[in-house]
Amino acid sequence: MCSDSPTGPSTPSAIALTCPAPPTVASASGQPIAVNFSSPTATGGTAPLTMTCSPSSGASFPIGSTSITCRAVDARQQTAACTFTVTVTGPPRLSVTRFVAFGDSITEGFPHTISPALVDPAPPGSYPMVLQSLLRARYTSQTIAVLDEGVGGEIVANGVARLPAALAADKGGALLLMEGANDLNQFGADGVSRIASGLQTMIRTARARSMGVFVGTLLPERADGTPARASHPELVVPANAAIRSLAAAEGVTLVDLYAAFGGVPDPVLISTDGLHPTAAGNERIAQTFYTSIRARLESTAAPVETSGELQDRAMAGPNTVPLYHR
């Protein structure tokens, strides 16, 4: 603004425009949302000032960062401009939405043997059911399914024979593999090599179907259970060493459940039979797989179908509801 002085009119001051702090907002649905932001602050110039921003406050913004340019013009046609960004974040997403949990009774969720078929629904409190609940609570814009393919009493060789048909029927995008405790019980020290060989075959079977693979180590055991279900708890450590080496050699994700359990059969986590997890143990298994899945498969990109989701949907067919039944 200018004013007259004894020596004559003063030079009008230039306009300075300061943009607001860049806002970041979340879109729960992953769709564009309206975003309101504060007006820039102008100093100097000659009133009245006209101020505009493009895009304007209250406009709809997509996921990502959008540049906003604001301009001010005063009565003397002096101008000033500033820029800032509006960032819209989408809900977290997974590149895979259908998981096949494969293994023995620890996966199955029952401490007994049933027929070799998909457990539908997964037993309440079983690790596949708990894991599915965790994933669905976080990935609200996607339909997540964790399919329970556990069979109580199964040895790894039987799992090798059973896996191809299970994967073909379940049409999953990732395999959660945890098996081998029964091999230690049945074969003793020879079970270690049987576990490593069989798991390698199962990993390669899944990868041949372009599936991601998460391999869990065996849980801690104790031999003094009631009834005694664990015959060779001392073999869990060498078996897990073989599983860790296998996961590294095959380039798949290791889910170190043994470490997550603290390496000891804590009665809070391992039941009185010395082998099967308690309810708290199942929650620990689910949480450990959940952490690995998030680290490996999560993104916050715009909700465009990823290659994994496209594969899941194409294999599942036109029905958008998860296929639980064979």
* CA separation, residue 61 to residues 19, 88, 302 (Å): 18, 7, 12
**pLDDT of amino acid 302:** 52
312 or 165, higher pLDDT: 165
| pTM for this prediction | 0.75
* End-to-end CA gap in the chain: 79
In sequence order, what are the beta bridge partners of 253? Answer: 214
**CA torsion, points 207, 210, 211, 215, in degrees to nearest 10?**
20
Closest CA to 52 of 80, 91, 29: 80
Average pLDDT, the chain: 88
Q: Quote the tokens at residue 91.
A: 């809900």
The per-residue pLDDT for range 49-103, each reduced to its tens digit, is 999 999 999 999 999 999 999 999 999 999 999 999 999 998 899 999 999 999 9
In this prediction, residue 166 has a pLDDT band, given cuts at 50, 70 and 90, of: very high
In this prediction, residue 326 has a pLDDT band, given cuts at 50, 70 and 90, of: very low
The per-residue pLDDT for range 170-192, each reduced to its tens digit, is 999 999 999 999 999 999 999 99
In this prediction, residue 322 has a pLDDT band, given cuts at 50, 70 and 90, of: very low
The per-residue pLDDT for range 91-142, each reduced to its tens digit, is 899 999 999 999 999 999 975 544 566 777 788 899 999 999 999 999 988 9
Helical segments of the chain, H only: 105-108, 127-138, 156-170, 181-187, 190-207, 236-250, 257-260, 279-297, 307-316
Sign of the torsion formed by the C-alpha atoms of 244, 245, 246 and 251: positive
pLDDT of 35 > 90? The answer is: yes
d(CA 55, CA 66): 9
- Residue 79 CB-density burial (10 A; 0-12 exposed, 13-18 middle, 19+ buried): middle
Those residues whose C-beta lies under 8 Å from the C-beta of residue 281, and which sit 6 or more positions away, are 219, 261, 268, 269, 270, 271
**pLDDT of amino acid 10:** 64
Cα three-residue angle 87-310-176, rounded to 5 degrees = 95
- Other C-beta atoms closer than 10 Å to the C-beta of 295 total 9
Which residue do the tokens 């994967």 mark?
Answer: 167
Q: Are 194 and 156 in contact (CB under 8 A)?
A: yes
Q: List domains and CATH numbers for the chain.
A: 17-89 (2.60.40.10), 93-316 (3.40.50.1110)
**pLDDT of amino acid 119:** 76
Q: What percent of the chain has pLDDT over 90?
A: 78
**pLDDT of amino acid 118:** 77
Beta strands at 212-216 and 253-255: parallel, antiparallel or unpaired: parallel
**pLDDT of amino acid 301:** 58
In this prediction, residue 320 has a pLDDT band, given cuts at 50, 70 and 90, of: very low
User: What's the maximum distance between 2 C-alpha atoms anywhere in the chain?
Assistant: 107
The per-residue pLDDT for range 226-275, each reduced to its tens digit, is 888 999 999 999 999 999 999 999 999 999 999 999 999 999 999 999 99
Those residues whose C-beta lies under 8 Å from the C-beta of residue 58, and which sit 6 or more positions away, are 34, 35, 36
**pLDDT of amino acid 72:** 96
pLDDT of 213 > 70? The answer is: yes
The per-residue pLDDT for range 269-305, each reduced to its tens digit, is 999 999 999 999 999 999 999 999 999 999 865 544 4
Helical segments of 54-189, H only: 105-108, 127-138, 156-170, 181-187
**pLDDT of amino acid 299:** 85
